[in-house]
Amino acid sequence: MIVVLVMAATLWGIGAAMNTPRRARWTMIGVLFAGVLAIQFILPDGHPLREGTGSDPRLWLLLGGLGALVFAYRKGLMALRARTNPVSIDPPAQAPGTFAEVELERYARHIVLREIGGPGQKALKTAKILVIGAGGLGSPVLLYLAAAGVGTIGVIDDDSVENTNLQRQVVHTDTRIGTPKVFSAETAIKAQNPFVTVRPYHRRLTADIVQDLFAEYDIVLDGTDNSDTRYLVNATCVALGKPLVAAALTQFEGQISVYDPANDAPCYACVFPKAPDPALAPSCAEAGVLGPLPGVVGAMMAVETVKLITGAGAPLHGQMLIYDALYGESRKIALKRDPNCSVCGTL
């Protein structure tokens, strides 16, 4: 029996020296234990191998039972600890606009950028951004805004996660099918960055709430594929003087611009005075859409938003960036304000 115990200790020692994970080392010892038990039960009485590994199998069974008991006790203790001490750490309360040490470390790669720096990161932290739609474009937008350290992120959507969404809507997961998208997104955002405040609105964006809702935010991002919503969002942003970062997708192509008549850029209605005929503008469900495409264009929306907040570079004011995924091409076209625009013409 001593020989076997020495073998087990040697196995453990070699494992430790080679830095193998504890689980692998325990597996090796389990295999050794099973081998010894097999020898004890299969070989006849008096066989030298059986004698050499201890003559009585009951001793080994007792040892195995004790081991299992200790293992079960440890597991139980760990489960209890996890329940009383949840792993999800709530960030310590901070004065608005100030950073905990761990946040400074988190945003270090932003803070070293001359165009962002400490003041830019502070501006991100105090910014309040509203995202319309937690779908294909909303997914990367929400994750990247959270990762970038945008302090308050609102998200409005009345849908629930469906299996057909998961090909491109990376903020959601298979296990959250059936969950309202805004709550699924909230879970993902909090997991990405616990220092962000998320405000989920599980409802449709309607004319009766839009003014009050937008008034609470600095910038609005629109990634919906519903033209009624697009015009409502645009008119409200114009009325309140809020910049609107809007993008749209077709099968393999995406377009993005920053609509902001308060800063002499056109509004959405200047460029698209009338909604396209539904027959000419099929939805993603009808026409299909390349899975990574909303990732590319949604990430561009997050980039434009970070630029607007921090003042870095020049946002896509009066310009539309068009990305053609099928041929790997992008181009920019100039957009002009329409002095007779029914929405912003009188500003």
| Interface residues toward Zn ion, by CB under 5 A | 267, 269-270, 341, 343-344
Residue nearest to Zn ion (CB): 341
Cα of first residue to Cα of last residue in the chain, in angstroms, is 92
Of 196 and 343, CB closest to Zn ion: 343
CB of residue 316 vs Zn ion: minimum separation in angstroms? 16
| Exposure string for 282-318, b = 16+ CB within 10 A, e = fewer | eebeeeebbeebbbbbbbbbbbbbbbbbbebeebbbb
Of 270 and 293, CB closest to Zn ion: 270
Of 182 and 270, CB closest to Zn ion: 270
Q: 262 with 344: CB under 8 angstroms?
A: no
CB of residue 319 vs Zn ion: minimum separation in angstroms? 15
d(CA 251, CA 14): 56
Of 67 and 345, CB closest to Zn ion: 345
Tokens at residue 45, please?
């009485």
The letter for the amino acid at 154 is: G
d(CA 339, CA 347): 9
CB of residue 264 vs Zn ion: minimum separation in angstroms? 11
| Torsion angle in degrees (nearest 10) through CA of 9, 14, 19, 23 | -40
Q: Helix, strand or coil for residue 330?
A: strand
d(CA 224, CA 214): 16
Of 295 and 318, CB closest to Zn ion: 318
| Torsion angle in degrees (nearest 10) through CA of 137, 154, 173, 286 | -40
Of 53 and 229, CB closest to Zn ion: 229
Q: 322 with 255: CB under 8 angstroms?
A: yes
CB of residue 237 vs Zn ion: minimum separation in angstroms? 10
CB of residue 272 vs Zn ion: minimum separation in angstroms? 10
CA distances, 245 to each of 26, 70, 115, 277 (Å): 55, 58, 20, 23
CB of residue 218 vs Zn ion: minimum separation in angstroms? 20
Of 78 and 347, CB closest to Zn ion: 347
Of 244 and 270, CB closest to Zn ion: 270
Of 152 and 234, CB closest to Zn ion: 234
Work out the number of other CB atoms within 10 angstroms of the CB of residue 6: 10
**Pairing status of strand 329-334 against strand 319-324:** antiparallel
CB of residue 228 vs Zn ion: minimum separation in angstroms? 17
CB of residue 254 vs Zn ion: minimum separation in angstroms? 22
CB of residue 342 vs Zn ion: minimum separation in angstroms? 8
d(CA 244, CA 236): 10
Nearest to 272 by CA among 335, 199, 191: 335
